[in-house]
């Protein structure tokens, strides 16, 4: 079974621009979660989607948004980029059916904002 | 506010010894607790899950304990090897909401 795939792997953007990151979950997984990882803050939860609906949301500003498609693939968008948005963005998929399903992570998109 | 604290940012031990990592939490009532391993430049990889009604779980050289009274989990790696060097993250799950600690970077020296 193919793992979680995130594209692109690296991205360099300028302040004020917007960016879209993509995540393809493991086949059959209906839940996709997004996390931001920085050296100072660790893994911070952004949001979780299940069957195209946002089910949980972390404490991030509205500039961070996401969506999930009918094939469970997900995208997250960050608008009006700030220097502090530089981070590793990780996507994780799971069965998401309410039990303690482990998260399966991709290797992330490294976003650098200059 | 809710907090998950992994007490040591970094832990250095000698090969063959037991590594013990700590995860404490406040203002949570997690139904499950998980441990993950993360290598540089990679996403975290799931290692073990323990339920709130379980005291201890083992998998090969790994052992996890979960004390809901102390609000603490301990993660042990016995007979540690240099290949165990990585960052280890604890994660609390409650109602589809998974939150992570900051991680402990373990270095096992030969």
Would you call B80 an interface residue with chain A, using a CB distance cutoff of 8 Å? no
Tell me if B97 and A48 make a contact (CB, 8 A cut-off): yes
> Would you call the peptide bond into A62 cis, given omega within 30 degrees of 0 as the criterion?
no
Tokens of B78: 């016995």
Residue B96 predicted with pLDDT over 70: no
**A38-69: per-residue pLDDT in tens?**
987 889 999 999 999 998 899 999 999 999 99
User: Residues of A near B (CB-CB distance < 8 A)?
Assistant: 4, 31, 33, 35, 41-43, 45, 48, 50, 55-56, 90, 92, 96, 98, 100, 102-108
Q: What is the mean pLDDT of chain B?
A: 92
d(CA A106, CA A108): 5
Judge whether B27 is closer than 8 Å to chain A, CB to CB. Answer: no
Q: Are A80 and A18 in contact (CB under 8 A)?
A: yes
Tokens 């607790």, located at residue:
B33
Split at pLDDT 50, 70, 90, the class of A96 is: low
Count chain A–chain B contacts defined by CB atoms under 8 A.
56
- Burial code of A4-34, b = ≥16 C-beta within 10 A, e = fewer? bbbeeeeeebeeeeebebebbbbeebbbbbb
pLDDT in tens, B2-50: 789 997 789 999 999 999 999 999 988 888 899 999 999 899 999 999 9
């Amino acid at each position: 079974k193919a793992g979680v795939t995130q594209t692109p792997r690296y991205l360099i953007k300028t302040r004020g621009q917007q960016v879209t990151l993509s995540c393809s979950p493991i086949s059959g997984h209906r839940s996709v979660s997004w996390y931001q990882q920085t050296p100072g803050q660790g893994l911070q939860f952004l949001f979780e989607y299940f069957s195209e609906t946002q089910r949980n949301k972390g404490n991030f500003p509205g500039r961070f948004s996401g969506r999930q498609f009918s094939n469970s693939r997900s995208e997250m968008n960050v608008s009006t980029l700030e220097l502090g948005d530089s981070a590793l963005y990780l996507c994780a998929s799971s069965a998401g059916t309410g039990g303690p399903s482990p998260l399966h992570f991709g290797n992330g998109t490294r976003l650098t904002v200059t | 506010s809710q907090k998950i604290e992994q007490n040591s940012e970094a832990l250095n031990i000698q090969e063959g010894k037991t590594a013990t990592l700590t995860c404490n939490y406040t203002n949570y009532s997690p139904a499950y607790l998980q441990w993950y391993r993360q290598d540089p430049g990679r996403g975290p990889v799931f290692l073990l899950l323990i339920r709130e009604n379980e005291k201890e779980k083992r998998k090969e050289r790994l052992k996890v304990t979960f004390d809901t009274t102390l609000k603490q989990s301990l993660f042990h790696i016995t007979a540690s090897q240099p290949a165990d060097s990585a960052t280890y993250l604890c994660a609390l799950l409650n109602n589809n909401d998974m939150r992570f600690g900051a991680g402990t970077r373990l270095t096992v020296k030969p």
